[in-house]
A and B are shown apart, each in its own frame.
Chain A
């Protein structure tokens, strides 16, 4: 009996394909499944370990830290929003497209490159009829003021616009805060903007911290407290790139900044913080990249000091104790507030001086462990705040008694137990919203007083 030919049909239920390929496919599938299981186990394991150590994984914390790193890498504060724009356009730009640079500026020492576009838009806007209808508010100060005008822009705008005292006028809140800036930069910036045609209806100075903290930091570096934040000023004023060695350091720093910024934006885009594995390891990697940027900056700064001689770029401070230095910082803040008030009053612009809250101001907020951990600051900052804030509060009260609208917001978080600080001086959204809730009525009151005085 002849042997039956081998059937070309697979038997029912048997896998198709030759056995070797089937085996390979099975192995691959197994490997993929094993990898997935391993990742899941690692994720679960990491979360368990963190929980056992008393620090359960907190995606929001990682996300906030990434946001803070992005903000520090892009130096800051995106653009403003217009009351007349549609909802999508009203959202402040969520992220800087590329690393913003500090540019040398003739009137405020340095400015961030993304403000150059805003300035042109601003000057063009104030030539339009639309600007006459809108109630334009300028918010001056350092990065906290910049952050406020971005993060709390919408709620602050709404609080103002909804108040009958504005008579239904649309409101636009302009970001005029620049990272690390302090008096007399706010006054100089307002003067410059006015000369270029800006016509705000209200001006707010939200400041105080940089004046005493950065001011004392300058003094520690043997530079007058009046000069801008030293690293930014030296880096821009040093005539840096006119020799190749410094140009290389500056370019390498730019490269590091760009790489780090791209990385953090990728992590935020991919929402890496959702998982403990990608969140924690990604954040650790990001912190290393940020440190590399800082290291690059310090190397550049050292080289700049060596090449240019800081004595020509900034005068030394007057002699004195910490107490005397801080007194001078406070006097500068008062002088700035009065100058801003005077520049506004003569034009009928409403002005409000706001003393910002800050983490190291004792008794200003019950701090949680994370805030304490993140709030570490250099000695000059903590000393500046400890010595300076009581003096700022007293000086603010004197300003108020002399007729300058003043809001002491330094204690606005006093009863808040929720975490609000993301580092030594910046807040999360909840913090900015609390500040907005305090500032809006203060500005409206100041407006009402000004109008009454004019009648």
Chain B
């Protein structure tokens, strides 16, 4: 047997050449066959159309988005709202007012002021804006202020309820403001807003739905929606990869490669659309994620009312404790509660607040019963002013005892 190495090498080279020729021939045949088949089917191969189709698929992929998600950031983006980290929502006006309070209370003439902070919801904000003048007049006339100017800081905000009043107070104090007197006015709003929350699936202690649920609830915060979104994102990435490949030389100039890629691209687009439909379906059946609704809570009126009353009591007690620790006077006003003692859920809730008011008093918290003032035919501001002055005396007496 011949063992000539040159002969062996020639033979191998020849074999490779034949093999390469066969492959090229087969590819050419496949390419021609594909073009014939496409022509017979009435879809003759068009390189420009193939490239345009891939580019369109890419553009469409970029334009697909789940419901509620804009494909680009716009000036009218509904997410452009002023959220607050500690009490859900704030206004620029309040922010500016607090900055002023900090500057005044930590500046050189801090001692010349007598700072009164008003906390609460819509009614408290209205009271601070209009009816609090009687209180300020009374304080101005009080000899203990001796030259100090009473300054009222309206820290009440529309639709606030506990624990937002605590959060506001804690934030004001953390900012450096040390008020001499803190007044909370609330009650009816706590019940109405908690019922509204609870019946709609939100936790009663979460902020009012108008303040919170309508402003948050982003898809990525819900684990189920996130999983669906990730699946959709992967599918779209695959579409983009394939579409880009389809604009490459071989995909454009070869009917065989291009039509295989086109079929793959079509399948992937279908998968991406299905994944997107799944994202929207998951979002639609989700009654609200944890971010929006908070912890689970029974959507039963009695349970909601108990939770609301407890939150109100605990919030008021916390504020009283925070103030007492600093020697700051604190007065809590339960606003007039028409219909208290009745049978509607709101009326039952108000009854619970009234009994909680009694418990606050037993903890030594200075309280004002708005209903009683109304029954006695006295203006709330007048009764409040008296209570505030009495509480300032009590605080001074406690300080003296220490």
Contacts and interface: CB of A to CB of B under 8 A. Distances in A.
The binding surface of chain A is classed by DSSP as: helix
A119 interface: yes
A113 B68 contact: no
Contacts of A184: 86, 167, 170-171, 173-174
B48 interface: no
B162 interface: yes
A242 B77 contact: yes
Interface string B97-139: 0010011000000000000000000000000000000000000
Interface string A335-346: 110110111111
A52 B253 CA distance: 59
B88 interface: yes
Interface residues of B, number: 72
Nearest to A248: B233
B80 A308 contact: yes
A245 B87 CA distance: 29
Interface string A189-217: 01110111100000000000000000000
A309 to B, nearest CB: 7
Contacts of A307: 73, 77
Given A116-B290, A226-B174, A247 B229 contact: yes
A196 B315 CA distance: 10
Interface string A119-162: 11001000000000000000000000000000000000000000
A195 B205 CA distance: 7
A242 B325 contact: no
B71 interface: yes
B291 A242 contact: no
A339 B85 contact: no
A107 B87 contact: yes
A53 interface: no
A238 interface: yes
A104 interface: yes
A346 B311 CA distance: 16
Nearest to A250: B220
Interface string B276-300: 0000000000000011001110000
A242 B230 contact: no
A76 interface: no
Contact of A338 (B78, B307, B325): B325
Contacts of A80: none
Interface in B142-198: 162-164, 166-167, 170-171, 173-176
Contact of B70 (A116, A119, A244): A244
A338 B322 CA distance: 7
Given A113-B290, A240-B218, A251-B233, A342 B324 contact: yes
Interface string B198-229: 00000101110000100010111101001001
A432 interface: no
Contacts of A192: 163, 205
A363 B93 CA distance: 45
A191 B70 contact: no
A346 B314 CA distance: 11
Interface residues of A, number: 69
B320 interface: yes
Contact of A336 (B174, B205, B220, B317): B174
B318 interface: yes
B261 interface: no
Given A185-B86, A342-B326, A226 B171 contact: yes
A239 B170 contact: no
A315 B99 contact: yes
Interface in A219-249: 226-228, 233, 237-248
Nearest to B297: A123
A250 B88 CA distance: 23
A217 to B, nearest CB: 16
Contacts of B175: 226, 332
B102 A247 contact: no
A272 B142 CA distance: 75
B22 interface: no
A245 B72 contact: yes
Nearest to A314: B85
A108 B294 CA distance: 13
A395 interface: no
Nearest to B327: A402
6 contacts: A106-B212, A196-B311, A245-B72, A247-B219, A339-B325, A346-B324
Given A240-B79, A313-B83, A404-B325, 10 more contacts: A104-B218, A107-B86, A194-B318, A195-B314, A228-B85, A237-B85, A239-B81, A243-B72, A335-B170, A335-B174
Interface of A: 101, 103-110, 113, 116, 119-120, 123, 183-185, 187-188, 190-192, 194-197, 226-228, 233, 237-248, 250-252, 254-255, 307-309, 312-313, 315, 318, 328, 331-332, 335-336, 338-339, 341-347, 404
